[in-house]
Amino acid sequence: MKLKVIISGGGTGGHIYPAIAIANALKASDKNIDILFVGAEGRMEMDKVPEAGYEIVGLPISGIQRRLTLENLKFPIKLIKSLWKAGDIISEFKPNVVIGVGGYASGPIMWRAQNRRIPTVIQEQNGYAGLTNKILGGKAEKICVAYPNMEYYFPKNSIEFTGNPVRQDIIDLSSKKDEGYQQWGFNPDKPVLFVFGGSLGALTLNESMANGIDKLLESGIQIIWQTGKYYFDKYHSQFGGREKEGLHVVAFIKEMEKVYAISNVVVGRSGALSISELCLAGLPTILVPSPNVAEDHQTKNAMALVNEKAAVLVKDVDARTILIDEILSLINNKEKQTSLSESILNLGKPNAANDIAQKVIEVAEKHYKKNN
């Protein structure tokens, strides 16, 4: 049997990059597998997927705004058109299995597949299931999750605890330490703090750091502060040029593995992929969930770690007043660092992409044997 797979979803990097990682793992297991991506017209997957070497077809679907807008009035029409086109895509491509990675683009194609009794697999990145995945989860053959206790959202017998697919270069960090210290000009005998709020940046984290940067430096802490591109000019003009004091203010970091390798404590948001990377890196972490995301899922992601004693939580509303003291407390508590590191490592899933790919293949083969 020649396996034909549709991977659907997107909208954000948190959906797209795991999807591409799954596709790569499927191709690594069998280069003859045919893979077609289905995304939403005008969204970032329409560029990122072809860059990764895969074909993608776009649907005219869009999300529903939380306020009354003209776009909301267009939603039913876009949905009907997307369902119609999704049916045509399935008829033409004839997939053995359809994977949904979340985001509204996965809804029409997954729904059509399930109605035609084509097996589906869901990959849920967050500790809180997205709306599309919750609706479709009841009929999915397998649901690959990254957090424990997802039985609240999905049928228990369908759940596979696989983790999120993330970059593999952060698994062996010990070999990158020397290079990391050299690259950043840091003293290996002094602690390193890494603060990041994603590629765009996080206002709360940046304002909290600005309020306490001198206090941290006076305590002998070396700092890599990723402000994000939106905030870089402002904070670099204020705090740039202090590398000799142990402070680097940067907009974005490409070689994250070298930063992780030398970091003693990390402070960041709790997006699904960031958390999955931190679990593999095994780093003592303070999470400040963004309150500006759907269903407050970043708080739920963070609590999944906090409940396992694998991270420290600081609420966004409290960060400006207590984050600096929480950082100092953790930097000065080696015992707690060790405990957090051990606990977060237990949640890491280094083989997530391969494990998900294997589940997809098993589902397709089972369905094929049943019908032939």
Binding site membership for UDP-N-acetyl-alpha-D-glucosamine: which residues? 12-14, 126, 167, 199, 253, 298
Residues 76 and 64 sit within 8 Å (Cβ to Cβ): no
Query: HSE-up of 5 (CA within 13 Å, CB side)?
Result: 30
Q: Is 362 left (phi over 0), alpha (psi -120 to 50) or beta?
A: alpha
Question: Among candidates 22, 18, 5, 16, which has minimal Cα distance to 110?
Answer: 5
Find the helix packing angle between 334-345 and 272-281, rounded to 10°.
110
Structure tokens that stand for 271 in this block: 């997006």
**Virtual CA dihedral for 78, 84, 86, 87, nearest 10 degrees?**
170
Chain centroid offset of residue 360 CA: 20
Residue 264 burial (CB count, 10 A): 18
Determine phi and psi for 119, rounding to 5 degrees: -65, 145
The letter for the amino acid at 100 is: G
Strands 4-8 and 34-40: parallel
Measured CA to CA, the distance from residue 128 to residue 45 in angstroms comes to: 22
Give residue for tokens 């591109």.
229
Alpha helices in the chain, H assignment, sequence order: 13-29, 45-51, 70-93, 106-115, 131-136, 177-184, 203-218, 232-239, 256-262, 272-281, 297-306, 319-331, 334-345, 352-370
Please give the annotated binding residues, written as ranges.
12-14, 126, 167, 199, 253, 298
DSSP assignment of 263-326 equals -SEEEE---HHHHHHHHHHT--EEE---SSSGGGHHHHHHHHHHTTT--EE--GGGHHHHHHHH
Residue 190 burial (CB count, 10 A): 12
